[in-house]
Structure 1
Amino acid sequence: MRHRNRDGRTRPPLRKSLLGRLLLMSALVAACSVTATAWLASQTTSGAIKQQQGRDLTADTRIYNTLLGYAAGHPHWNGVQETLHDLAQQSERRIVLTTQNRQLIADSTDHTTPPELPPQASAVVDPLSVDTTLTEAAGTANRIDPRAVGPFSLPTTERKALRKAADDNVACLSRLGIAADVVQAPSGRPRIQVVGTHTTAPRDTGCDTDTLDRPTNTEQKALTALNELVDACLDRQNRPGIQLNLDFSWARAGTSAYDLATTPAPTLAPTLAPSPVPSVPSERTGIDSEAARAAASCVDTSRREQLGSYVAAPALLFITDPSGTTVPGFDLSPANTARIAGVAAIVLALTVGASLLAGARLVRPLHALTGAAQRMRDGEEPETVPVPEDNEIGRLAAAFNDMSAHRARLEEQRKAMVSDVAHELRTPLSNIRGWLEAAQDGLATPDPTFVSSLHDEAVQLQHIIDDLQDLAAADAGALRLHREPVHIDELLAQVAAAHQAGADTAGVTVEVITAERAPTPTADPVRLRQAIGNLVSNAIRHTPAGGRITLHAYGTHDGQETVIDVTDTGTGITPTDLPHVFDRFWRAEKSRNRRTGGSGLGLAIVRKLAEAHGGTVSATSTKGEGSVFTLRLPTAPDEGPQ
């Protein structure tokens, strides 16, 4: 839909206008900016929070694992305060341990007042029920911390004996070219770990492994006690007993697990690691799958019962920042999404509003310029538009005003020129018509005087038409010049001779001042004589009887220009009229007729001819004393004064 201005002209639709495009571009930029900013903020924040949460999780895991090891090796929590202090300094967190009914056990800070605990504990520290999300060592089915060894912990003498046997076994394997290391389990039992990809079983190498294969007295005693607990559990279920091995695998009672090859090789002796209770195939153990599940459950229950008096009681672990606050999470929940959408809508509305105000202010002067240009096109008088501040639009408005003023001047000159041309042509045509009508009516005799008068009027018409043709050719850039070296002193003499008759009639003396080294410019001699002749004719018309006209040509000191002065002792020109002497149809005295004042085109033609040669023409004058018209023409670089 098109809108109309107050002057009735239509404006382009909003979607095609500058304002509409500015609004659309602003809206798109704002929407993209808000979307990109929101996405970047969410990604950056989420990444930072995930990174922080990752660091916190690492620290929490270290704290949990350390306290879990403490609980696995101590029957109570006495003395854990120092451990909490060390962990708190390393992680810069506050650590609190309580019983399961939230009775304070230990606090990493020295506050005397009970801490304000969060609603939910960070973890439960129980070596017999390990949290599998916080420690890698708990990747077992029974979830018993491997450091909880209880009665299986070896005394010093047994450790030394097993260590010596392990060292001897490593030395034997080394002599056979097999690299191996001794690894000590939490119970103190060493085991042999082969380095590399050697596939030969250590028991097949011939090295002595009997000492490492057999349980020690301490281990046998603990294993026997555990087996009794397991058998009692199975007996309550009316199931037969089983025979436990040192790695807590089992077989049917009376069958050796080693005979069934259900245990690792002797050099890879059991580590009491929290591996799942081995599920020995039923066809090899004589136990069906249901009985195997019952046996595994009893082994797990019995182990917890056996270790219960050797480990600390379960405790609640609270890990917080020193201020007691936690780092909030961030996600694009519906609430966050709505919040981002609301902020984006506000930013978009503000952007569109600001763009609307700025765009309206921007296009207002453009509308004024468009309206003024359309009115000028429709033939109305040129007008000016308000110029805003000094910016691109302001400069455009100023340029339009200059163009409008220039157009107004050209229009005035055009009207004046048409009027002057009509006036100049009307006079000789009226004279010719009058003489012819008089001859037709018998009032005048076509004698030689009559014919001479008509001839003079026709010559005057031809002169005006030739001048107008020259000006039109100069304006169109079609004025052709035939350049050649011109001896300027000879040309001035020819001009003076051509105007000598008119000068004698007016009682004026014309003389030429010859320079010692007259320049030789490259110019069109015909057009140059025409220009200088017009200056001389103008000087004769405005110089009273007894006056003098002087022609003088010389070169500038740098040899770049040829200067021609036409000086007269005439009436002179006032300072207010001097700037207009080269305008078309201009006369200093409006009352002068064409016979005494000329057509008003001679000096205008001089200016055009000078410009066609790449030169200039100027005038200086003193009222009542005379005038000097100066014609300057460029001299070719290789044509200096001669």
Structure 2
Amino acid sequence: MGEPTAGGPQPAPTAGGPEPAPAARVPLRHSLMLRLLGTSVLLTVCAVVATAWLTVATTTRAIEKEQGQSLADDVSVYDEMITYAIDHRDWSAVTPVVDDLASRTGRRIVLLDPVTRDPVAESAPGPALRDARPSAIVDPLDLDPALAASRQRSSIDTRVVGPYQLGDDQRAGIRKTAQDHRGCLVNRAGLTAEIVELPGGRSTVAILDADADADRGRSLVCPEPALLREPFPSEVAPLAELLDRTETCLGPAAASIDLAITPSLEVEVLRTLPGAPTEAAARACVETSLHDQLRAYVAPPVLLFVTDATATDPGLPTADLSTGNLLRIAGVAGLVLLLTVAVTVGVGMRLVRPLRALAEAAREPVDRQRPVPVTTRDEIGSLATAFNDLAHRRDQLERQRRAMVSDVAHELRSPLTNIRAWLEAAQDGLAPADTRTLELLTEEATLLQHVIDDLRDLAAADDGTFSVHPEPTFVGDVLSQVVEANQGTAAAAGITMTGTVHGDPQVVLDAVRLRQLVGNLVGNALRHTPAGGSVTVDGAVRDDWLTIEVADTGIGITADDLPRLFDRFWRADASRSRRTGGSGLGLPIARQLARAHGGDITVASEPGRGTHVTVRLPARSPVSPR
């Protein structure tokens, strides 16, 4: 699209009106290009700042990982080491495991003794780590809460069972008892329960109901079997040892509290005396005692280091933000900003050029407007297409307006000419001013009034002020009135006219408008039906719709003319006048009446075989029928 220039030739004023004043240019502060430029600059600055921040954050994170200060991405290494410590009582065979983890992760893995800082295992040679900060401490009895929260029972890994490990026969027996107890709770007590198997092999039944009567129902209907709450012979000695260790931890205060430790290692406070320690203190002593009891069953703690396999010195960072680096970052950011401004200015000018062409085309006088070329497929091309469509529709409306004015003038000219001719003849004494003359004048005035009434109805429909006044109406009465009113015309033309109504339907609609609608259809059918033919009117309510059918055996309508049937002032036979062919407004008004009631009209016709018109209106029934 070419951009109109300010210095080019200006169109001459037209005779249709004064030349429109040229529109002022858009102020620079409101320019689309300036706003686009500002937005791009803002986005670029934000992108540069975000990139710099991301670079600094990423570099800092890499440095922290090299120094062993973070193990967020190496949880699998920690988990493997914890699993090994649970399954072994020392670290003598850990080297193959460390080597395998190092090959899979690409990291250097080192285990050091926490006291002497001597190497326990090392996946590859590298810088000494005696003074470095460890990534984590591997101890299944003192888990890192940030790395192993999913398996915590306080700070002890739940997989560490030590002397509380049950044999296969014991596992099977207690599971069978738990299944029977769960079946009783579900089937007899009506509770929701599930079996929970602890790492040591002991099974328990957990009730999931939040009902306060759950415990009462369990104790009354399904008492807990002794096997689920009493220790096996192999558990008696470890539980007694744990209880002794707990009493030793409590010291003299142990005499004022009566504790019990279940086979599931839960603490129960049975009785307290004045001066007894708190329940929290008692549980802390139980945990400390369990920690000491299980120490002999797991490997001792070690320090874990996970570093970069290529690092030469874990104490030095591999990247820095010196003054030179900062200047280089600033230079690159400035270059990116400059390129962004240049590209934005170029793109903005290409965007504004077709918009200016559209604005100039819109300012052209109506009679000299031409379609603007569509050169792109983006939003601006879509706007140009919409502009051209709008101009095309406006031209169509203008042609329709001119045609309608011509049709209205034609329809009004004939009766007005006849009235004037008769009046001038009577005034000149050429025609007597008798009753016959008055009847002719009245007839022409009536025709003129009909045209005006039809035009008024169509104008109301176009303005949206076409209204109906629905009320309970017996359809049979309305159709009978229409048939009786047109019987005289039908008899004079030698046409048989009949009307049929199935049942006695009563619906809510405007009776006057319905009579007008059906009357227009019947009148149109009578005008196009030759002598010896017939016109039938049929009405019925089917599937909540009022269906009125007007059928004739007239001349019919060709397939090419059917789409134009509801055009205003259109007649199938152009030679017909208003007296012989109607005004061409009856069917458009009938359709508007049907649509005002929420319905519509359809037409089926064949030349020489007649026309069948169907009106469908919503049948809203009143409260009570007749």
Provide the TM-score with structure 1 as the length reference: 0.52
Shift of 1:463: 0.7
Aligned to 2:573: 589
Which digits, 9 at most, give the CA deviation of each residue in 1:10-66, with x for residues without a partner? 6524542333312210111102211332244246546756996999xxxxxxxxxxx
Matched, 1:330 2:320: yes
Unaligned runs of 5+ in 2: 11-21, 70-117, 129-309
Are residues 321 and 623 of structure 1, via their aligned partners in 2, closer, same or farther at CA, if it must alter by over 3 Å?
A: closer
Instruction: Name whichever of 349-358 and 543-552 sits farther off.
Output: 349-358
Aligned to 1:453: 440
**8 Å contact kept, 1:387–1:398:** no
Matched, 1:546 2:532: yes
Which digits, 9 at most, give the CA deviation of each residue in 1:332-378, with x for residues without a partner? 42x434422331133223434444555556556655554554447x4
Which of 485, 499, 514 pairs up with 1:528? Answer: 514
Q: Aligned runs of 1:354-373 on 2, under 5 Å?
A: 354-356=343-345, 359=348, 366-367=355-356, 369-373=358-362
**8 Å contact kept, 1:382–1:408:** no
Aligned to 1:23: 37
Identity, % of aligned pairs?
49
Q: Which amino acid aligns with 2:321?
A: D
Q: Which amino acid aligns with 1:619?
A: V
Provide the TM-score with structure 2 as the length reference: 0.54
Matched, 1:92 2:126: yes
**8 Å contact kept, 1:584–1:600:** yes
Instruction: Name whichever of 345-354 and 366-375 sits farther off.
Output: 366-375
Are residues 381 and 416 of structure 1, via their aligned partners in 2, closer, same or farther at CA, if it must alter by over 3 Å?
A: farther
Q: Which amino acid aligns with 2:457?
A: D
Counterpart secondary structure, 2:506: coil
Aligned to 1:471: 458
**CA RMSD in angstroms, aligned pairs only:** 4.0
Q: Which amino acid aligns with 1:24?
A: G
Shift of 1:429: 1.1
Unaligned runs of 5+ in 1: 56-84, 95-319
Q: Which amino acid aligns with 1:523?
A: L
Shift of 1:551: 0.4
**8 Å contact kept, 1:34–1:344:** yes
CA distance in 2, matches of 1:518, 1:405: 51
Q: Which amino acid aligns with 2:577?
A: N
Q: Which amino acid aligns with 1:444?
A: A
**8 Å contact kept, 1:521–1:639:** no
Aligned to 2:336: 347
Shift of 1:525: 0.8
CA distance in 1, matches of 2:320, 2:34: 39
**8 Å contact kept, 1:574–1:623:** yes
Q: Which amino acid aligns with 1:433?
A: R
Aligned to 2:169: none
Shift of 1:593: 1.4
Counterpart secondary structure, 1:571: coil
Q: Which amino acid aligns with 1:617?
A: I
Shift of 1:464: 0.7
CA distance in 2, matches of 1:531, 1:502: 18
**8 Å contact kept, 2:495–2:532:** yes
Q: Aligned runs of 1:132-171 on 2, under 5 Å?
A: none
Matched, 1:37 2:51: yes
Q: Which amino acid aligns with 1:407?
A: R
Which digits, 9 at most, give the CA deviation of each residue in 1:571-597, with x for residues without a partner? 111111111111111111222112111
Are residues 420 and 54 of structure 1, via their aligned partners in 2, closer, same or farther at CA, if it must alter by over 3 Å?
A: same
Q: Which amino acid aligns with 2:338?
A: A
Aligned to 2:235: none
Counterpart secondary structure, 2:555: coil
Counterpart secondary structure, 2:41: helix
Are residues 396 and 634 of structure 1, via their aligned partners in 2, closer, same or farther at CA, if it must alter by over 3 Å?
A: farther
Which digits, 9 at most, give the CA deviation of each residue in 1:428-456, with x for residues without a partner? 11121222222333332222222222111
CA distance in 1, matches of 2:30, 2:125: 64
**8 Å contact kept, 1:580–1:586:** yes
CA distance in 1, matches of 2:506, 2:375: 51
Which of 523, 541, 544 pairs up with 1:537? Answer: 523
CA distance in 2, matches of 1:631, 1:578: 16
Aligned to 1:608: 592
CA distance in 1, matches of 2:347, 2:398: 37
Larger Rg: 1
Counterpart secondary structure, 2:548: strand
**8 Å contact kept, 2:535–2:553:** yes
Which of 421, 424, 428 pairs up with 1:434? Answer: 421
CA distance in 1, matches of 2:536, 2:468: 27
Which of 379, 386, 398 pairs up with 2:374? Answer: 386
Shift of 1:638: 6.1
Which digits, 9 at most, give the CA deviation of each residue in 1:186-221, with x for residues without a partner? xxxxxxxxxxxxxxxxxxxxxxxxxxxxxxxxxxxx
Q: How many pairs are equivalent?
A: 383
Shift of 1:600: 1.1
Aligned to 1:561: 545
Q: Which amino acid aligns with 1:547?
A: G
Q: Aligned runs of 1:54-73 on 2, under 5 Å?
A: none
Which digits, 9 at most, give the CA deviation of each residue in 1:360-404, with x for residues without a partner? 56556655554554447x455584763854x65566555555544
CA distance in 2, matches of 1:639, 1:578: 40
Which of 476, 480, 484 pairs up with 1:489? Answer: 476
Counterpart secondary structure, 1:424: helix
Are residues 528 and 638 of structure 1, via their aligned partners in 2, closer, same or farther at CA, if it must alter by over 3 Å?
A: closer
Q: Which amino acid aligns with 1:330?
A: D
Which of 523, 546, 557 pairs up with 1:573? Answer: 557
CA distance in 2, matches of 1:479, 1:412: 25
Which digits, 9 at most, give the CA deviation of each residue in 1:301-349, with x for residues without a partner? xxxxxxxxxxxxxxxxxxx9769xx96663342x434422331133223
Which digits, 9 at most, give the CA deviation of each residue in 1:476-496, with x for residues without a partner? 222332212222222111101
Q: Aligned runs of 1:281-300 on 2, under 5 Å?
A: none
Counterpart secondary structure, 1:486: strand
CA distance in 1, matches of 2:482, 2:618: 20
Counterpart secondary structure, 2:429: coil
